[in-house]
Amino acid sequence: MQVIYGGTFDPVHHGHLRLAVELKEQLGVATIRLVPAYVPPHRDEPGATPEQRLRLLELAIAGEPGLVLDDREVRREGASYTTDTLRQLRNAMGSDEPLAMVVGTDAFAAFDRWRDWDQIPELAHIVVVERPGDPLDPEGVPARLLAERRVEHPSELRHTPAGRALILAPPLLDISATGIRDRIAGDRSPRYLFPDAVWDEIRRLGLYGCPPGRR
């Protein structure tokens, strides 16, 4: 089974990385594909370019064989719509192999406002990661879709190529990219919130308001 975990990763941090490892273990897969967006359609413009965020993610997962960088959205350019990515993957994989996409409850709450959202269950399974303080509206379309398609165990995702939904509640690190950017811009240390290699590259490039060469 292939699993994709997309996001802006602006910048990537230990919360992203730890979740990816938890997903790999709980879903019982060999790899998790991390897919940085070129232009996230539902968020503000990122603070770093797509190429810079790609480089930071590459540095962050170096030496971790279970985490794989997938740059297809950056190479495709334009707004990064999940449906386009899933279609591209499905065309490459064929129709029989199980494919799953990961989404947090905060983003999934607006699932029915995504472009071509109703086609996503035909392309992939949906793995919803519960986040504290982000309950779904029980009367909303996302909650109803989840109830209709929900399975209770990760192994059930392997029985069909797509169409099922699984809720996971892995331990989450309370780290946000917004908080990291604010720390850097405020001349406060973000160390230990992400790998040292990421911080070194941010300083080298002068990203997020960090003067180049800052120690």
Q: Is the peptide bond before 11 cis (omega within 30 degrees of 0)?
A: yes
pLDDT digits (tens, 9 = 90+) for 31-59: 999 999 998 887 778 999 999 999 999 99
What is the model's pTM?
0.94
57: CB partners within 8 A, 6+ apart: 9, 12, 34, 36, 69
Cβ atoms of residues 171 and 22 within 8 Å: yes
Q: What would the mean pLDDT of 18-28 be, rounded to a whole number?
A: 98
Class of domain 2-205: alpha beta
91: CB partners within 8 A, 6+ apart: none
Q: What would the mean pLDDT of 125-144 be, rounded to a whole number?
A: 91
pLDDT digits (tens, 9 = 90+) for 141-166: 999 999 999 999 999 999 999 999 99
SS3 188: coil
> Up-side HSE of residue 160: CA atoms within 13 Å toward CB?
13
Cα separation, 117 vs 121, in Å, equals 8
Q: What would the mean pLDDT of 106-111 be, rounded to a whole number?
A: 94
Q: What is the mean pLDDT of the chain?
A: 94
Q: What is the pLDDT of residue 212?
A: 67
